[in-house]
Amino acid sequence: MEVLKVDQAQKRYDSFALRCSLQVKAGHITGLIGKNGAGKTTLFKSILGLITLDGGTITLWGKDIRQIQANDRNALGVVLFDTGMSEYLTISQIIPILQNIYAVFDRDFFIHQAHHFQLPMDKKIKDFSTGMKAKLKVLIAMSHQAQLLILDEPTAGLDVMAREEILDLLRMFMENQEQGAILMSSHISNDLEHLCDDIYLIDEGQILLHEDTDVLLDEYAILKVNEAQYQQLDTSYLLRVKKEVYGFQCLTNERQYYVENAPEVVIEKASIDKILVLMTKGEKI
């Protein structure tokens, strides 16, 4: 079942244009990757109705976002990179605020998890570490029985341990919500590789690639060839080619084909980072 559908969404600015489509299914964690300025935050703000589209449609649970009501918004848990609660408050002070904002705020769950993740109840949020602030944001998004989490860079700037705790929170959310779903962006490909069911790659406001994560990691590969090898190479299954000092790097989504038919060529596993670089910097065949 589709929880979120973005269909040919368009938003134009002076030097940027968003033109993309994507879907998030119930029970899935969907990742969105792209360099800074690629359009991730603009897309998220469009989904949340914070900016008005110039064209296309966005639907949540089959309903156009322009018709979303307050009770529908209760089913959304949101973490935007550039927004948050007043940092001059304490967790104890924000609890009654959250109870007023959300009709179904789960106070007991929130307090239990705040203690579990060692978040001080009576310390001003401005004095929290970066990791503590990030955990608090995700915990707030999860604590009102949300069905869809929309997370813009939830692990940005965190150390390995803090990132893993955030990912544990997200895994817990999916375990507790049978029809739950997550759409998240991240610069940290390792997070997406271990968490997401599928991944979209966005660049200059357009989706360049959408694939199941298992397929990306198993079937995509980097071929490293010199000039002579490239001239002899069957390019039928190459997605991008990038010129290098030694010759070429070639991105393919048919790894096994080249393993069987080009045994003399160096074939490396394609990480999500390498796929991102080649899809955005390489040339189409």
Q: Give pLDDT, residue 72.
A: 78
pLDDT category, 251, cuts 50, 70, 90? very high
The per-residue pLDDT for 96 is 94
Asked if residue 83 has pLDDT above 60, the reply is no
Tell whether 253 and 147 lie within a shared domain.
no
In the prediction, which pLDDT does 82 show? 60
Q: Of 170, 188, 213, which residue constitutes the final position of a domain?
A: 213
Check residue 222 and give its pLDDT. 97
- The CA-atom distances, in angstroms, between 11 and each of 33, 54, 62, 104, 241 are 19, 5, 21, 33, 30
Q: Does residue 82 contact residue 120 with C-beta atoms inside 8 Å?
A: no
Residues 6 or more apart whose Cβ sits within 8 Å of residue 204: 16, 17, 38, 39
Q: Cβ contacts of residue 66 below 8 Å, gap of 6+?
A: 49
Cβ pair 213, 198 in contact under 8 A: yes
Give the chain's domain count.
2
pLDDT in tens, 145-199: 899 999 998 888 888 888 898 899 999 999 988 789 999 998 788 888 889 999 9
57 with 173, same domain: the answer is yes
Nearest-CA neighbor of 166 among 151, 153, 154? 154
Q: Are residues 238 and 185 in the same domain?
A: no
Percent of the chain at pLDDT exceeding 90:
73
Asked if residue 240 and residue 201 are part of one domain, the reply reads no
Q: Are both 185 and 247 inside the same structural domain? A: no
- DSSP states of 187-198: S-HHHHHHH-SE
Task: Give the three-state DSSP class for 106.
Answer: coil
Max mean pLDDT among 50-64, 69-83, 152-166 falls in: 50-64
User: Is residue 121 classed as helix, strand or coil in its secondary structure?
Assistant: coil
Query: Token digits for 80?
Result: 């935007």
Residue 21 pLDDT class (50, 70, 90 cuts) = very high
Task: Determine phi and psi for 232, rounding to 5 degrees.
Answer: -95, -5
Q: Is 18 helix (H, G, I), strand (E, B) or coil?
A: strand
Q: What is the pLDDT of residue 257?
A: 97
Q: Please give the residue range of the domain that contains residue 231.
A: 220-281
Six token digits for residue 225: 């060839």
| Domain identity same for 173 and 71 | yes
**pTM, to two decimals:** 0.92
Same domain, 200 and 259: no
pLDDT at res. 158: 85
166, 183, 213: which is the final residue of a domain?
213
Q: What is the pLDDT of residue 187?
A: 79
Instruction: For residue 91, give the nearest of 116, 117, 112, 111 by alpha carbon.
Output: 111
> What percent of the chain stands above pLDDT 70?
98
Same domain, 100 and 238: no
More confident residue, 103 or 9: 9
Residue 111's Cβ-count burial label (10 Å; 0-12, 13-18, 19+) is: middle
The reply to whether 94 and 168 lie within a common domain is yes
Last residue of a domain, one of 213, 234, 249: 213
Q: Please indicate, yes or no, whether residues 259 and 123 belong to a single structural domain of this protein.
A: no
Q: What is the mean pLDDT of the chain?
A: 92
- Residue 178 and residue 58 share a domain: yes
Q: What angle do CA 55, 60, 64 make, to 5 degrees?
A: 45
Q: Are residues 21 and 67 in the same domain?
A: yes
Half-sphere exposure in the Cβ direction for 203 (13 Å, CA) = 12
149: helix, strand or coil: strand
Q: Amino acid letter at 79?
A: V
What pLDDT does 186 receive? 86
Residue type at position 50: L
* Domain containing residue 68: CATH number: 3.40.50.300
Q: Helix H segments across the chain?
A: 40-47, 70-73, 91-101, 107-116, 130-142, 160-176, 189-195, 213-219, 227-232, 255-261, 272-281
Residue 184, helix vs strand vs coil: strand
